[in-house]
Structure 1
Amino acid sequence: MTIHVSLGPLVSLIAGILILVMPRLLNIIVAIYLIAIGLIGLFGMGSMHF
């Protein structure tokens, strides 16, 4: 059995959990998430699977 996990959904899951635990981190988490997705889009790592 093989499990493929993409980076985008994994980052979203971690960010969602952190926001639930500490709502004050919302601005920081959203900023980091947007920067990460932008870098992934620019450098073409969206097709990588971990």
Structure 2
Amino acid sequence: MTLHINMQVVPVISLIAGVLILVRPKLLNYIVAFYLIAVGVFGLIGR
């Protein structure tokens, strides 16, 4: 099972998430939750 994501998108998303966490630390919970939900959905779709 492989997930093909444009490799230029991942660093940009990580950079934006890092800046948001620095600016508003309370967003960490939401960013992590969104990431886990996205990985789970893509994992189920990829089967």
TM-score (norm 2): 0.57
Q: Can you give the 5+ residue segments of structure 2 that lack an aligned partner in the other structure?
A: 1-5
> What percentage of aligned pairs have identical amino acids?
57
Q: Which runs of 5+ in 1 are unaligned?
A: 45-50
Equivalent residues of 1:11, 1:33 under 8 A apart? no
Cα distance in 1 between the residues matched to 2:22 and 2:37: 21
Relative to the length of structure 1, the TM-score reads 0.55
Secondary structure of the structure 1 residue equivalent to 2:42: helix
Moved more, 9-18 or 28-37: 9-18
The residue identity in structure 2 corresponding to 1:16 is: G
- Higher helix content, 1 or 2: 1
Q: Residue in 2 aligned with 1:16? A: 18
Shift of residue 19 of structure 1? 1.4
**Cα RMSD over matched residues?**
2.4
